[in-house]
Amino acid sequence: MDGDVGRGGPGPGEGGATRHDASELTQTDRAPGVAAIATAERRRPDALVPRRLRGYLALDDFEPAARRRLPRQIYGYYAGAAETDQSRDDNRAAFRRVAFVPDTLRDVSRRSTASALFGERYRFPFGISPMGLSGLACFEGDLALARAARAEAIPMAMSATSIMPLERLAADGGARWFQAYLPGEPARILAMVDRVERAGFDTFVLTVDVPVPGNRENNVRTGFSIPLRPSLKLLRDGLTHPRWSLGTFGRTLAGGMPHMENMDARRGPPILSRDLVRAVGNRDGLSWEHVELIRRRWRGRFVLKGVLAPGDAREAAARGVDAVWVSNHGGRQLDGAIAPLHALPAVKAAAGGMAVLFDSGVRRGSDVLKALALGADFVFLGRPFLFAAAAAGEEGVRHAVGLLGAEVERNMAMLGVSAVAEVGRRHVCDAHPPLVGPG
Ligand code: GLV
């Protein structure tokens, strides 16, 4: 592990945009291995897509299938957001306010979606966000996501709110990014950082937008809690979703009662329990001094997730953080928080040499390209991949990655760019500018 690996500074981009560490990928023939993958991806015949997945044509197609497959409590937890859902809805709406300004008559016949971040090459400029309780989307859901990410050569961050020990996900799934929720307690922080390092992770993502849990009324209405409390509602929902109850939950329980494994250096409470045990500690005491503590201890790449304010990006840069992740937690925390797409340009301007990662509201390849154009170095998605896992396991996630990658690649051609690093600010504008100015 090398904490300096991501600090080389962004490479030159067009129109004021830069792409972290991607300068060597601005020509497809400079990255032959990845370019070859991208070309193969472009030409993948439909026959290679398993028959049962051929009806899924876009990421949004997975959600209805997941909704049918999952008990209400679980689907509601994944799909829901905080209070009025304003931020979750604004995250999507923000993309509609941005329009493309494509270049034409560029030779784009040798285009590649290959992307670089922290000195690693990936197949696409997107990855999988950390998501709580992914292990209940399908059997060993965290592993399904990690294996799909590894097979498709994209990054994936495992969530602290998971029921599989992080050591197993690193060993069996090849996971390299771990997302932590930490209390403002140095001893617990250091113990967790050391555990993550021992397991072989190279990227530590600290989520900073959860000083307290968001107000998710939908969870109360459906009867969802962590741990899950046995109740008539839960039993009824289990009976009406036998495939999930047997294939996912039953199979999981057969291996022993799962626990919240990664909230702390020590194992947390069981996932199914009558008593509502909250082992989160005083997360509201977490502060910049703890960021400094982690930076001193952790030798790998260090990312702060949930940054929306340019001032926070400056604070992070001053403390040697490698990247800020612009996110409002998919609208699940502070309802009314600015859509990350709108926050992106100012955070990018404040980020200096740090990479800028982005999530919240991304559903299409066009969304990925808009975020890149507005300053993201790499884009992440959560719910769509979880719904793909619920619908069809690892294969479903791989198919989702392929669909999104094909959209990115197709739209790059129509945008007139051959390399991801070429996507710049000049490729987008306000979708609804005034037709005429004031008279
Ligand atoms: C994360 O754990 C969440 O529920 O948003």
Mean pLDDT of 173-182: 98
**φ, ψ at 40 (rounded to 5°):** -60, -40
In a domain, 438, yes or no: no
In a domain, 310, yes or no: yes
Question: How many structural domains compose the chain?
Answer: 1
Q: pLDDT category, 10, cuts 50, 70, 90?
A: very low
Q: Rounded to an integer, what is the distance from CA 35 to the centroid of its chain? A: 24
Q: Which atom of ligand 1 is nearest to the CA of 161?
A: 2
337 pLDDT exceeds 80? Answer: yes
CA angle 203, 392, 408 (to 5 degrees): 60
Under the phi-then-psi rule, with left for phi > 0, alpha for psi from -120 to 50, and beta for the rest, what region is 310?
alpha
28 pLDDT exceeds 80? Answer: no
Ligand 1 mean position to 195 CA, how many Å? 21
In a domain, 437, yes or no: no
The protein residue whose alpha carbon is closest to atom 5 in ligand 1 is: 332
Q: Token pair of 229, please?
A: 């409390």
Q: How much is the pLDDT for 228?
A: 87
In a domain, 231, yes or no: yes
Cα–Cα nearest to 341, from 13, 84, 98, 116: 98
Contact 218, 326 (CB under 8 A): no
Consult the annotation and say whether 181 binds a ligand. yes
How large a percentage of the chain has pLDDT more than 70? 88
Ligand 1 mutation target, pool 73, 87, 142, 210, most atoms within 8 A of CB: 210
Query: What are the respective helix, strand and coil percentages of the chain, to the nearest 5?
Result: 45, 15, 40
Domain that holds residue 44: 3-430
Q: How much is the pLDDT for 48?
A: 83
The protein residue whose alpha carbon is closest to atom 4 in ligand 1 is: 132
In a domain, 436, yes or no: no
Cα–Cα nearest to 377, from 7, 9, 19: 19
Q: How much is the pLDDT for 281?
A: 72
Element (H, E) at 78: helix 72-79
Q: Which atom of ligand 1 is nearest to the CA of 332?
A: 5
Consult the annotation and say whether 361 binds a ligand. yes
Q: Which atom of ligand 1 is nearest to the CA of 333?
A: 5
pLDDT, averaged across the chain: 90
Ligand 1 mean position to 35 CA, how many Å? 35
Ligand 1 mean position to 376 CA, how many Å? 23
In a domain, 78, yes or no: yes
CATH at residue 319: 3.20.20.70
Mean pLDDT of 188-214: 98
269: cis peptide before it, omega within 30°?
Answer: no
Q: Could you report the per-residue pLDDT of 55-89, keeping only the tens digit for each?
A: 999 999 999 999 999 999 999 999 999 999 999 99
Q: Could you report the per-residue pLDDT of 378-425, keeping only the tens digit for each?
A: 999 999 999 999 999 999 999 999 999 999 999 999 999 999 999 999
Cα–Cα nearest to 311, from 350, 341, 337, 277: 350
Q: How much is the pLDDT for 348?
A: 98
Ligand 1 mean position to 131 CA, how many Å? 6
329 catalytically annotated: yes
Q: How much is the pLDDT for 280?
A: 67
Consult the annotation and say whether 305 binds a ligand. yes
Angle between helices 340-350 and 365-373 (to 10 degrees): 30
Consult the annotation and say whether 216 binds a ligand. yes
Ligand 1 mean position to 71 CA, how many Å? 18
Q: pLDDT category, 157, cuts 50, 70, 90?
A: very high
Q: Could you report the per-residue pLDDT of 305-320, keeping only the tens digit for each?
A: 999 999 999 999 999 9
Q: Could you report the per-residue pLDDT of 103-131, keeping only the tens digit for each?
A: 999 999 999 999 999 999 999 999 999 99
**SS3 (DSSP) at 338:** coil
8 pLDDT exceeds 50? Answer: no
Contact 203, 178 (CB under 8 A): yes
**Which of the two residues, 367 and 279, has the higher pLDDT score?**
367
In a domain, 114, yes or no: yes
In a domain, 368, yes or no: yes
- 307-333 CB burial, b ≥16 within 10 A, e <16: bbebebbbbbbebebbbbbbbbbbbbb
Contact 331, 216 (CB under 8 A): no
Q: How much is the pLDDT for 6?
A: 30
CA angle 365, 368, 372 (to 5 degrees): 140
Consult the annotation and say whether 230 binds a ligand. no
- Among the listed residues 241, 329, 399, 427, the single catalytic one is 329
29 pLDDT exceeds 80? Answer: no
Cα–Cα nearest to 174, from 7, 394, 380: 394
433 pLDDT exceeds 50? Answer: yes
Consult the annotation and say whether 26 binds a ligand. no
The protein residue whose alpha carbon is closest to atom 3 in ligand 1 is: 132
Mean pLDDT of 247-260: 94
332 lines ligand 1 (CB under 6 A): yes
Ligand 1 mean position to 316 CA, how many Å? 23
Q: Which atom of ligand 1 is nearest to the CA of 329?
A: 5
134 lines ligand 1 (CB under 6 A): no
Q: Which atom of ligand 1 is nearest to the CA of 132?
A: 2
The protein residue whose alpha carbon is closest to atom 2 in ligand 1 is: 132
